[in-house]
Structure 1
């Protein structure tokens, strides 16, 4: 078994982020979770942080470094939505989603890479979405931000690939969560009709891919987009 790594999962207090944190914990890693409300799964270090605020992120990293050690794996998962059709979408809603889902990732990764560079080892995993590659009506803001993560991961790969650092994108499709469970049956069937696998993914299926792409086994994969979408995006 490899040595425990220090892992940070942003937005790791609920949904897919929480499952990702739990997956790393189950593998024996030391895990910190940032969220606005400071909640975390059992066994993880809970740190309140806001990805739209660089000072808040810096303070969170400093605390993690003091309590767990230098962060070696960053999973940038924190995100929001503010869906609306393009003609009705306000500039504020566009900018707010991009600031959290794209610029927030930039802030997180910029602070996280310093010690990765010194240690000549690091894993950066950006949680995108099938929406960023496939396009979804009403999500011009969200899709733009999630597509932007692909360019970010590839730029990071070219900058830092020679230092033992990888940067990859995991792009989930429809995941079975409380939100999808609450959809009307007709709407669920409409979504499922587009998924070749014929089912929604379990959050654990995304979490296991994130853990694997962060492992030594995946050391020669960087700048990749890994869809976990049952074939929905079909290679985009």
Structure 2
């Protein structure tokens, strides 16, 4: 899941970005409305997290304009403006959620994860492929009943493959979903994570390579 954070505070912005990355999200950062607008035009995101008071205006204007253009991207406003009138204005301009600073990071992560999934097909809390089980709420993976230790990136890639079990997922789709704009699309980052997953999942191999296209996960035949 890929998130755009719009925050101009030089201390808070990187903290939010790194915290969300540690929770398994791919995250890009913008510090101005015009920069956020450009990133929204060229990238696909699952959620927008925006401070209101930015150097070139109020993020409410960005949200309002995006909604008028037909965008359904889930939006969370993360701001120090916490009066009832402020929150009402946020919802009236098209925000889906509103979190007032200071905030608990666990709550921010939970809200962002919920918003990211709002725009996706309803899925079960557990995904299964053969003897592989992925527990989404607890962020746990088991193979033949054995608990596996995965990194946040490995979990994200495995989740993407299991949600589309039986389908070919291209490298570009994996990069768009699980990496941010700092990743080089020509690098072998996807292949490295897939190799790590195969090693941790063990035999029989579940993740197949579709040469020149991407990867597909399916249960053992």
TM class by shorter-chain length? 0.3 to 0.5
Structure having the higher Rg = 2
More strand by share: 2
TM-score scaled by structure 1?
0.40
TM-score scaled by structure 2?
0.42
